[in-house]
C-alpha cells in the first residue's frame, strides 16, 4: 500500500508523510497484542483523550483481544489554530464512571511537553484506579518540559507539527489515514 498526498483543495500544506498507514496499522497490532497479554484476566478500561485520539483508540481497541471498556474525556493545551502548546492544559472533564474497579489505560494521540499528561494522570490517580498507564501514538521527547514518559509510545516523531490519523490543525486533517508534517 502506498500512501500518497491528497491533491484536492485544502491539503496543499502537507509537506510529507512521516508515518504511512501500513506502518501505523502494523505497530498498533503489535502493541494491541502486548496490551492483551499485560491485561489478561484484569478489568481493563481504555480512556481516550478527545479529540485527537479517537481514531487511534478505535483501531487499538480492535487489536486488544481481552475484554475492555471505553470512556472518553477532554483536555487540551492548544487554543484555536495554534501550533504550540500553551503549557496550561484545560481541566479534564467527561469521566463519570467509577474507575476504582479498573486497570486504566489512558490513550493519547501525542505527548509533547508532557504537561497535559502529568495533570490528567494526577487527576485520574485521585479516582483510585487499580493501575494507571499511558499509551500514546506519538511521542516528541525533545519537546518535554516535565518529567513524564508514557508506558507505551508507538512512534517517536521529530519536533515538527504533525496531522492526520485524528490529529488536527484547526480541526482539519484528522481524516488523513497517515501521519504527515504540515507547513503553516
User: CA–CA distance from 25 to each of 17, 20, 41, 156, 175 (Å)?
Assistant: 15, 9, 25, 16, 15
Query: What is residue 11's predicted lDDT score, i.e. its pLDDT?
Result: 74
In a domain, 86, yes or no: no
Closest alpha carbon to 133 in 164, 169, 102: 102
**Quick check: is 8 in a domain?**
no
Q: Number of folded domains in the chain?
A: 1
- The answer to whether position 2 is within a domain reads no
Does 6 fall in a domain?
A: no
Please report the pLDDT score of residue 83 as a whole number: 52
Does the residue 53 lie in any domain?
A: yes
CATH code, domain with 142: 3.40.50.2020
112 noted as active-site residue: yes
Per-residue pLDDT of 143-180, as tens digits, reads: 999 999 999 999 999 999 999 999 999 899 999 999 99
In a domain, 118, yes or no: yes
Residue 152 lies in a domain: yes
Q: What is the span of the domain harbouring residue 136? A: 21-75+98-161
**59/29 Cα distance (integer angstroms):** 8
Say which of 96, 98, 112, 147 is annotated catalytic: 112
Residues 7-59 have pLDDT tens digits of: 555 678 899 999 999 999 999 999 999 999 999 999 999 999 999 999 999 99
Query: 119 in a domain, yes or no?
Result: yes
Tell me: pLDDT of 101 over 50. yes
pLDDT band for 91, please (50, 70, 90 cuts).
low
Amino acid at each position: 500500500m502506498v500512501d500518497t498526498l491528497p491533491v484536492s483543495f485544502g491539503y496543499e500544506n502537507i509537506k510529507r508523510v512521516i508515518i504511512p498507514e501500513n506502518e501505523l496499522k502494523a505497530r498498533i497490532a503489535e502493541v494491541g497484542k502486548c496490551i492483551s497479554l499485560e491485561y489478561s484476566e484484569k478489568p481493563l478500561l481504555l480512556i481516550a483523550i478527545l479529540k485527537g485520539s479517537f481514531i487511534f483508540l478505535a483501531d487499538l481497541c480492535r487489536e486488544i483481544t481481552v475484554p475492555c471498556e471505553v470512556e472518553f474525556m477532554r483536555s487540551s493545551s492548544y487554543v484555536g489554530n495554534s501550533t504550540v502548546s500553551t503549557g496550561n492544559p484545560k481541566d479534564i472533564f467527561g469521566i463519570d464512571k467509577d474507575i476504582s474497579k479498573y486497570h486504566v489505560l489512558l490513550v493519547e494521540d501525542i505527548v509533547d511537553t508532557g504537561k497535559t499528561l502529568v495533570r490528567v494522570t494526577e487527576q485520574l490517580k485521585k479516582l483510585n484506579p487499580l493501575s494507571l498507564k499511558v499509551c500514546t501514538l506519538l511521542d516528541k521527547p525533545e519537546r518535554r518540559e516535565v518529567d513524564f514518559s508514557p508506558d507505551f509510545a508507538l512512534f517517536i516523531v521529530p519536533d515538527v507539527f504533525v496531522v492526520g490519523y485524528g490529529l488536527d490543525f484547526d480541526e482539519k486533517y484528522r481524516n488523513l489515514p497517515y501521519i504527515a508534517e504540515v507547513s503553516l
